[in-house]
Chain A
Amino acid sequence: DAGVIQSPRHEVTEMGQEVTLRCKPISGHDYLFWYRQTMMRGLELLIYFNNNVPIDDSGMPEDRFSAKMPNASFSTLKIQPSEPRDSAVYFCASSLKGEDYGYTFGSGTRLTVV
């Protein structure tokens, strides 16, 4: 398996622009998570899905953030409009309920908003 695939690896955008991050989970995994990592706040859970349905989005910072999972093999995280404080590494992870190895993380998207 190719693992969790995220794109792009790096994104530099100007404040006010729309940013879309993409994730392909491991085939067969039924949970998908979006995390954000910064030096100040560490790893923060933004939202997670179970069988393509959003379960908990309480970590989404504000209405500028939205996430979708139209099918079992694809998810997006969108920021519109972007702000400099959104600069972080965004990780997507997937897992299978009952397996005791936790998450498999993607390589992350390093977002810089200037």
Chain B
Amino acid sequence: GQNIDQPTEMTATEGAIVQINCTYQTSGFNGLFWYQQHAGEAPTFLSYNVLDGLEEKGRFSSFLSRSKGYSYLLLKELQMKDSASYLCAVSPTTDSWGKLQFGAGTQVVVTP
């Protein structure tokens, strides 16, 4: 079956670093996405990994290990506006590009 696991909630202090882990077991793999979702809003794209390694975009970085079925999202220099839910999503098969399966999301709470 398909399974995507991530922690339910994480709390960190403004200015700190937080790492959100995601493990997945899917029938196939065609890429892993991270989305950010603020309360009451739509998810917005943060990052995409299809090859092993680290992708860096400003304060946000995402890592992928396909052999381990593992990814993490690293948020540096946390700001209050980073308080949101972070969703890990996997594209499971190459013949249905775009059919993403989402994890339940990790609620990040940034405190002053």
Query: Which A residues are closer than 8 A to B by beta carbons?
Result: 31, 33, 42-43, 45, 48, 55-56, 91, 95, 97-98, 100-108
Chain B residues within an 8 Å CB radius of A56: 96, 99
- CA distance in complex: A108, B87 (Å): 17
- CA distance in complex: A13, B87 (Å): 30
Q: Which of A45, A48, A102 has the most CB of B within 10 A?
A: A102
Check A105–B42 contact: CB distance below 8 A: yes
B102 at the interface (CB under 8 A from A): yes
Query: Which B residues are closer than 8 A to A by beta carbons?
Result: 31, 33, 35, 41-45, 48, 50, 87, 89, 96-105
Check B43–A105 contact: CB distance below 8 A: yes
> At the interface, is chain B mostly helix, strand, loop or mixed?
loop
> At the interface, is chain A mostly helix, strand, loop or mixed?
strand
Check A33–B98 contact: CB distance below 8 A: yes
Chain A residue with Cβ nearest B34: A102
- CA distance in complex: A98, B94 (Å): 11
Chain B residue with Cβ nearest A55: B96
- CA distance in complex: A55, B96 (Å): 9
24 residue pairs of the A-B complex, CB under 8 angstroms, read A31-B97, A33-B98, A33-B99, A42-B102, A42-B104, A43-B102, A45-B99, A56-B96, A56-B99, A91-B42, A97-B98, A98-B97, A100-B50, A101-B45, A101-B48, A102-B35, A102-B48, A102-B98, A103-B43, A103-B45, A103-B98, A104-B45, A106-B42, A107-B41
